[in-house]
Every structure is written in structure tokens, then in C-alpha cells.
Amino acid sequence: MFRCGIAYPRCRWIAPLLLLFAIIFDIIAIAATSGWVENEDAKSEYASMWKRCRGRNDHWECSSLMEYPWAQAVAALMILGLLILIVAFIISCVALCPTVNISLMPVIAVLLVIAVILQAIALIIYPVKFNELIFEGHYDYTWAYGFGWGATVLMIGCSFLFCCLPRYEDELTGLAKTKYIYSSA
């Protein structure tokens, strides 16, 4: 009566969708103007990937972080990781959506691993160097910084997924018989 099995053909649509979510998360993290970091005490200071602002209410004095080499490196690594992620997304759509092209799966996995490495380096450099730049007060990392890590975690999961999918070519194409995990007859 009740059967529970894994529907592998759904992976054809879910994997590119997860990469699309990672792209959206990356764009939110890179484009966030409300900041990656904000002052915990008085909310009188915040910094995004691009600039640092101090002040209150309508009186904000902003300065660019792009004058620091570490901030330039963070921006370059995040943008490069996003571009590689977009390429991996396009290749995954070509490889999985109309028909299954198993030979492209390892390429996608390698691209995702490279993007993960780049973005993880950027997301580690930023708090270390920002804390060296600011000595006073305590700072909290905001949702925008979290979206950067969220995109990185999604890419890690998708890289494992794209590494494992070539083993299930028949299941992905629908040629294999469904294997039920649980069946109550």
C-alpha cells in the first residue's frame, strides 16, 4: 500500500535549483549595503564588503574599504567565486535539464570546489582583517555575511552531489527500476 523510494530524476531539477539559490545568496551577500558587520552597542557603525560607515540616524560618514588590499582581495575572491558559480550553474542546466550528460558532472563539481575555496578564503579574511582594523567595541556579523556562508555551504553540498550523480546514470535517466526503501504490502 505505502512505498517510499528515492526519485532520482528529481535530482535533475533540484541540483540546478540549489545552484540558483547559491547564486541568489551570493548576490545578496555581495550587494548588501546594510553591512556585513555592525556595532553591537549603539548601532553607530557598520561595514559592508565595500565601505565602512560611522554616525547616527541621518548623519553617516562613510569611507571606502577598497583602499585596503585585504578588502580588494575579499571583493575579488567573492566576485570570482560568483562568476565560477554562474558558469557551473549554466553547465549544470546544460548537463541535466534537457537530457542527462554525465561527462559534465565532474567538471561542475570541480568548478564548485574552486568557487568554495575562493569564497571560504574571502569569508575568513574579512573578519580577521576587519577586527585588526577596528580595535574598539564589539561587532556582530549580520545576515548579509551569513548569506555569503550560506552560498558557500550550498556549493559544498552541490559539489558532493555532482560527484555522486555519475554513479546513478540509469536512475537519473529513468531507465532503472525504482528501488524502494520501505514497502508495506
CB atoms within 10 A of CB 60: 12
Predicted local confidence at residue 64, as pLDDT: 86
Q: Look up residue 44 and give its three cell numbers.
A: 553607530
pTM for this one? 0.83
- Mean per-residue pLDDT of the chain: 82
Q: What distance in Å separates the CA atoms of residue 50 and residue 4, rounded to the nearest whole number?
A: 49
Beta pairing partners, 59: 56
Q: Quick one: what percent of the chain has pLDDT higher than 90? A: 36
Predicted local confidence at residue 53, as pLDDT: 81
Distances (CA, A) of 154 to 41, 139, 148: 32, 26, 10
Quick: pLDDT tens for 99-158: 777 788 899 999 999 999 999 999 999 888 887 877 566 778 888 889 999 999 999 999
